[in-house]
Chain A
Amino acid sequence: MATGRGKGTFPGGVHPAEGKAISESRAVEAVPPPKQVAILLSQHLGAPCQPLVAKRDKVQAGQMIGKSESFVSAPVHSPVNGTVKDIALQSHPVIGRVTAILIEADAEGNTPQTPVFNRFDHTFSPEPFAVETICGAVNDGGLVGMGGAGFPTRVKIEPNPAMIKEVLVINGCECEPFITCDYRLMIEGTWQVLAGIRLAAKAAGVEKIRIGIEDNKPLAIGAMTEAAATVKDIDIAVVPVKTKYPQGGERQLIRSVLGKTVPTGQIPPTIGVCVLNIATCAAIADAVVLSRPLTHRVTTVTGHAIAKPGNYYVAMGMSVADLLDHCGGLTAQVAKVLMGGPMMGFAIADLTTPLTKTSGAITVLTQDDVTKAKYEKQQTPCIRCGRCLTACPEGLNPTKIAHAVKFNRMDLAEQYYMSACIECGCCSFVCPANIELTGYIKTGKILVARAKKRMQA
């Protein structure tokens, strides 16, 4: 087979402080159902959903309340029994404001949903589930990539004659500092994760499975290796990879684990690889075996400014403010609330922003954390030291791209392959001149996308 072996690492990358000690030893804990949820109709890449319910309708927990006919899309479900209060615009952590279905939970009859780790064990076999059943359940369950990008999972795993998948790479890196939700899933929900992996492997029709886990998580590596050893019907192995940010970027992980390179501008299936993250695998098992749609997920609440940090099993649609209240509120002076971790997370302005399928963490930074980061300081001229070039995991020239964007030269930015940027933040992290290179590049990408849209219109 053409697949080589990876060296467990990739060129570039940085080593931010891990900060995982705050929450890594805390077991997953269920959060009581919120009084109100806001289900965003766009929680994934692709077409937004259309509401299937109207104002004042009664909804049941697990009921599908929004879907789209588009191929690249995923439906949304209500996490609670309740009444639709309104269908209105709501803050989205990433893309501004989108339509959401606001549901008021019933006062009675809503029991907290708990994780179902104990429903799976080593006897699980994907045998009884046909490929169509798996893909159907994954689609109806509203599954998307829960690592951050939110790409509809069905599109990823279902057989596609144009792009035959050979290897399933499971992303257990969790390279983003502070976040520990996937880590807890691998330790507590080992068998559920493994069940999901095997179902996905069956649907995708791959020949082998590689589970990449950063070597700073020996407990997770141990648990997953032990579980994987019970699987005899497919080539499956855990691959410890070097602890380095952004090891969990799918292009980087494929390089580390398989030694293969995804061509610039292409997606992993073009080289026969499918990448799924840990939380997504757990959700696949939930959806296929237990017919539970994706309405809850494990979210890490962490940071130095939080009273009860930990890993919480929460209803999506719950507001960040409600979740933070449940976690004992905020302690020290809060400076930033991030949806996600400190390298790629989005700083939110509106704490009523609801949690989405891709909300792996809420990181609360103190003024002290923020001051320590140099972006607060004066930005000084680029001295062309080249550190951003060395740090860039995609082999780009961040300073050239950023300065092209700064002077509104999008053509030049594209000549330096701006669209190949994965927005990991390594260049900003290392820049001695405090230049927010990633910020410039993201801005440039948005401006180019808008210009293209205008041209089409």
Chain B
Amino acid sequence: MLSKITVSPAPHVSSKLSTRVVMGDVLIGLLPAVIAAGVFFRVRALAVIGVCVVSCVVSEWVCNRIRRRPTSIGDLSAVVTGVILAMSLPPAIPFSIAVIGSVFAIVIAKMAFGGLGSNIFNPAMAARAFLAASFGTLMTTWTVPSTVDALMPTISAANTSATTQATPLAWSKAVQKGQVEAHYINEQTSGAFWGKVGGCLGETSGLAFLIGGAYLLIRRTITWHIPAAVLLSAGVIALTAWLIKPEGFINPLLHLLGGGMLICAFFIATDPVTAPLTTKGMWIFGIGVGSLIMLIRIVGEYPEGVMYAVLIMNSLSPLIDRFCKLTPAGGTPHVK
């Protein structure tokens, strides 16, 4: 009667979800930020993103070939890495350095660990750390966004170049050292929201990431726990510092909108591969990231701490998972 019937374990139906859909959603979530970068830094920004994406994808393909594994670029994870890496680079970065970063992200930080799902560190952040260590000056030269008509008079005195500008967080350091008065910097808060401050491609407009983050939450690509934990913990620390000494610290809102805080909360810390699995673990991880960012920003020597905060917490993820085991619905069974 029948020529062939298949035997396989249950279930025999499934949802339509795939890794490609998940990564595709992340890319859609990043789209507002990509568009914003295009508006602020024109073709240059899109070129940097393009270079990063292409070199990430090519690197992954080459690694697949070397390891004689099936091509994995179809899952779009390399594209996501490329975009996020580009978002963490200054617009004026030389293309050669963007390529070096991308190759490092995929070959060393991802494929050397075993590819998607096996990497310990967020590839984009690992690559950024590598670039920051190797090309310090180039990584901290900030182009003025096209949306800024003229340099703000109050801070132009400190600027020697007309095409580069310090980021709000760099100024925050100056505030802490008493070189600039806080309220001048606080005036940049709305600029950080709309995209009128200097910084990496992804550090300019808070709005773009809020839109993208909302999309990810609505699509349930990410859960709300990590973003909430990062923003709450960072917000509380920034607020405390500000309340204690308003003239010594920039306002907490600028801390949340400025720098890489929002892209970190919604797109980097939420990278499932390098974050804990359980809800409790996500809270610990998120609070860790948020607190470390603020610790580095306020106490540390660097103006921005997203990259190190994420990398440090990435390394703790497996440990957090081990200590945050789930309790079954029926409670922990009695030990025999």
Is A bound to B? yes
- Residues of chain A at the chain B interface (Cβ within 8 Å): 10-12, 14, 16-17, 177, 251, 255, 261-266, 321, 329-330, 334-338, 340, 342-349, 351, 363, 365, 369-370, 372-375, 377-378, 380-387, 389-390, 393-397, 399-400, 415-417, 420, 423, 425, 428-434, 436, 438-439, 442
B66 at the A interface (CB under 8 A): no
* Bound-complex Cα distance A168 to B15 (A): 34
Q: Is the CB of A344 within 8 A of B11?
A: yes
> Would you give the shortest CB distance from B61 to chain A, in whole angstroms?
16
> Would you give the shortest CB distance from A321 to chain B, in whole angstroms?
7
Given A397-B278, A420-B328, 5 more contacts at CB 8 Å?
A: A11-B329, A14-B15, A263-B330, A377-B18, A395-B326
B14 at the A interface (CB under 8 A): yes
* Bound-complex Cα distance A434 to B16 (A): 10
Which chain A residues border B247 with CB–CB below 8 Å? none
B117 at the A interface (CB under 8 A): yes
Q: Is the CB of B5 within 8 A of A429?
A: no
Q: Is the CB of B9 within 8 A of A442?
A: yes
Q: Is the CB of B19 within 8 A of A433?
A: yes
> A374-B16, A384-B277, A428-B11 given as contacts; is B327 within 8 A of A335 (CB)?
no
Mark each residue of chain B from 314 to 336: 1 if its CB lies under 8 Å from any CB of chain A, else 0.
Answer: 00000000000111111111100
The residue of chain A having its C-beta at the shortest distance from the C-beta of B118 within the complex is: A381
Which chain A residues border B275 with CB–CB below 8 Å? 384
Which chain B residues border A374 with CB–CB below 8 Å? 14-16, 18
Q: Is the CB of A389 within 8 A of B18?
A: no
* Bound-complex Cα distance A373 to B116 (A): 23
Which chain A residues border B334 with CB–CB below 8 Å? 265
Q: Is the CB of B7 within 8 A of A369?
A: no
Which chain B residues border A390 with CB–CB below 8 Å? 223
Pull 7 A–B residue pairs with CB atoms less than 8 Å apart, ordered by A: A264-B329, A265-B334, A338-B10, A347-B9, A397-B278, A432-B19, A432-B22
What size tier do the contact residues of chain B reach?
35 or more
Q: Is the CB of B116 within 8 A of A383?
A: yes
The residue of chain A having its C-beta at the shortest distance from the C-beta of B20 within the complex is: A432
Mark each residue of chain B from 94 to 121: 1 if its CB lies under 8 Å from any CB of chain A, else 0.
Answer: 0000000000000000000011111000
Q: Is the CB of B325 within 8 A of A397?
A: yes
Nearest 7 CB-CB pairings of A with B:
A381-B117, A425-B11, A264-B330, A439-B9, A395-B329, A265-B333, A264-B333
> Would you give the shortest CB distance from A77 to chain B, in whole angstroms?
29
The residue of chain B having its C-beta at the shortest distance from the C-beta of A266 within the complex is: B330
> A263-B333, A264-B333 given as contacts; is B13 within 8 A of A343 (CB)?
yes
B21 at the A interface (CB under 8 A): yes
- Residues of chain B at the chain A interface (Cβ within 8 Å): 1-2, 5-19, 21-22, 70, 72, 75, 77, 114-118, 223, 272-273, 275, 277-278, 325-334
Which chain A residues border B70 with CB–CB below 8 Å? 378
Q: Is the CB of B330 within 8 A of A430?
A: no
Which chain A residues border B333 with CB–CB below 8 Å? 263-265, 417, 420
> Would you give the shortest CB distance from A413 to chain B, in whole angstroms?
13
Which chain A residues border B9 with CB–CB below 8 Å? 347, 436, 438-439, 442
The listed residue (B117, B278, B328) touching A383 by CB distance below 8 A is: B117
> Would you give the shortest CB distance from B282 to chain A, in whole angstroms?
8
* Bound-complex Cα distance A430 to B275 (A): 19
Q: Is the CB of B18 within 8 A of A434?
A: yes
Q: Is the CB of A335 within 8 A of B272?
A: no
Which chain A residues border B117 with CB–CB below 8 Å? 380-384, 433
Q: Is the CB of B330 within 8 A of A370?
A: no
Which chain A residues border B19 with CB–CB below 8 Å? 380, 383, 432-433
* Bound-complex Cα distance A14 to B2 (A): 33
Q: Is the CB of A370 within 8 A of B6?
A: yes
Which chain B residues border A372 with CB–CB below 8 Å? 13-14
Q: Is the CB of B277 within 8 A of A386?
A: yes
Q: Is the CB of A396 within 8 A of B10?
A: no
The residue of chain B having its C-beta at the shortest distance from the C-beta of A380 within the complex is: B19
The residue of chain B having its C-beta at the shortest distance from the C-beta of A261 within the complex is: B330
Q: Is the CB of A394 within 8 A of B12?
A: no
> Would you give the shortest CB distance from B24 to chain A, in whole angstroms?
11
The residue of chain A having its C-beta at the shortest distance from the C-beta of B2 within the complex is: A334
Q: Is the CB of B328 within 8 A of A396?
A: yes
* Bound-complex Cα distance A334 to B329 (A): 39
Q: Which of B2, B12, B278, B328 has the most CB of A within 10 A?
A: B12
* Bound-complex Cα distance A46 to B43 (A): 72
Which chain B residues border A384 with CB–CB below 8 Å? 117, 272-273, 275, 277
Q: Is the CB of A343 within 8 A of B10?
A: yes
* Bound-complex Cα distance A335 to B22 (A): 29
Q: Is the CB of B12 within 8 A of A251?
A: no
Q: Is the CB of A380 within 8 A of B8?
A: no
* Bound-complex Cα distance A373 to B12 (A): 7
Q: Is the CB of A338 within 8 A of B330?
A: no
Q: Is the CB of B7 within 8 A of A348?
A: yes
The residue of chain B having its C-beta at the shortest distance from the C-beta of A430 within the complex is: B15
Which chain A residues border B5 with CB–CB below 8 Å? 334-337, 347-349, 351
> Would you give the shortest CB distance from B302 to chain A, in whole angstroms?
29
Q: Is the CB of A251 within 8 A of B11?
A: no
* Bound-complex Cα distance A347 to B72 (A): 31
> A16-B13, A263-B330, A365-B12 given as contacts; is B18 within 8 A of A351 (CB)?
no
Q: Is the CB of A395 within 8 A of B272?
A: no
